[in-house]
Amino acid sequence: MNYQTFAKLYDDLFDEEAYADWQSYAQTHIQSKDGKLLELAGGAGRLAILLKQNGFKDVSVFDLSPEMLTLAAEHAEAAQIDLPLIQGDMREWSDLKQKYVTITSFADSLNYLANTQEVLATFKQVASHLEPNGQFLFDVISPWQTDVYYPGYMYNWHDEETAFMWSSYGVEGSQHTVEHELTFFVYNEDIDGYQQIQEIHTERTYDIETYQRLLKKAGFKDIQISADFGRSAVTPESDRWFFSAIKA
């Protein structure tokens, strides 16, 4: 879950159009723009800034990575936005006493959790930090994405100073699990050559019934599920599911 040394590289390469899609989903499905909103695993704060610029009055970012939060602070300053930042682990943040009307978590963040116990722990933390009838919205990749689309996936990109290689593989013996091998080659003036930076990211997902069961166990009701950033109903080939749930 921690992007470590290549946080800025990851942030620079992330698809900006996807942020516009998440913003559109949030604008359409979040019930209150006036109450406090927390972007859980909000990374470099790009979505949070878009929300703040488009009518959401009180937005904060929570993330595990100090490097990503440093970028969020830089982006907020550039946008002249007041953006409170919180560093912590979404599996356990009971020391934070603030309550929120809305909590969101997008961009596969929950897919980086190791098992259903960690997902449930996160859901319980979210519920405990929501006001009564508060809303939780999140997305996850689907089993179709992990089992059909990602295995064998490759993507390469380069400019004059950086090259990026992304390869994805299924994980034998682990259901609905995929590993992403991310490799950057970055020009380093000190050595007059390219430095290789590599990380392995593991994502896993579950069937819809599992997410529904865990949400209910954590204290949520009125669970609504859609695909295509809320524009379509779920089908067997949906690559990403979008959930909205209310604290019971």
> What pLDDT, in 10s, does the model give residues 182-228?
998 888 888 888 888 888 999 999 999 999 999 999 999 999 999 99
Q: How far apart are CA 172 and CA 33, in angstroms?
A: 44
What does the pLDDT read at residue 1? 34
Q: Tally the residues of the chain.
A: 248
What confidence tens digit (pLDDT) does each residue in 115-154 have? Answer: 999 999 999 999 999 999 999 999 999 999 999 999 999 9
pLDDT at residue 6 above 70? no
pLDDT, tens digit, 9 for 90 and up, residues 32-67: 999 999 999 999 999 999 999 999 999 999 999 999
Q: How confident is the model at residue 81 (pLDDT cuts 50, 70, 90)?
A: very high
Mean per-residue pLDDT over the chain, rounded: 93
Specify the CATH number of the domain 4-142+206-247. 3.40.50.150
Residue type, 25: Y
Tokens of 179: 């590993």
Kindly indicate whether the domain formed by 145-204 is annotated with CATH number 2.20.25.110.
yes
Average pLDDT (6-27) is 82
Q: Cβ(113)–Cβ(87) under 8 Å?
A: no
Which 8-state DSSP code applies to residue 123? H
Instruction: Give the model's confidence band at 247: pLDDT under 50 very low, under 70 low, under 90 confident, else very high.
Output: very high
How high is the pLDDT of residue 17?
Answer: 80
Residue 2 has pLDDT above 60, yes or no: no
Chain-centroid distance of CA 16 in Å reads 14
Q: 59: burial class by Cβ within 10 Å (0-12, 13-18, 19+)? A: buried
* pLDDT-above-70 percentage for the chain: 98
**Is the pLDDT reported for residue 248 higher than 60?**
yes
Looking at residue 16, its pLDDT comes to: 75
Q: Is the pLDDT reported for residue 162 higher than 50?
A: yes
- pTM for the model stands at 0.93
Is residue 26 over pLDDT 70? yes
What would the mean pLDDT of 166-185 be, rounded to a whole number?
95
Task: Please calculate the CA angle 102-105-108 and round it to the nearest 5 degrees.
Answer: 165
Annotated domain spans of the chain: 4-142+206-247, 145-204
C-alpha 110/C-alpha 46 separation (Å) is 18
Q: Count Cβ atoms below 10 Å from residue 109 Cβ, excluding itself.
A: 22
Cβ contacts of residue 78 below 8 Å, gap of 6+? none
> Same CATH fold, 145-204 and 4-142+206-247?
no
Burial track 200-230 (b if 16+ CB lie within 10 A, e otherwise): ebebbbbebeebeebbeebbbeeeebbbbbb
Q: Is the pLDDT at 11 greater than 80, yes or no?
A: no
Q: Flag whether pLDDT at 231 surpasses 80.
A: yes
Of residues 158 and 93, which shows the higher confidence score? 93
pLDDT, average across residues 1-26: 74
Q: Which residue has the tokens 């610029």?
A: 53
Instruction: Give the integer Cα–Cα distance in Å for 67 and 50.
Output: 20
Q: What percent of the chain has pLDDT over 90?
A: 82
Cβ proximity of 139 and 171 under 8 Å: no
Q: Name which of 42, 123, 48 is nearest 82 in CA terms.
A: 48
CB contact set of 148 (below 8 Å; sequence gap of 6+) = none
CB 208 within 8 A of CB 241: yes
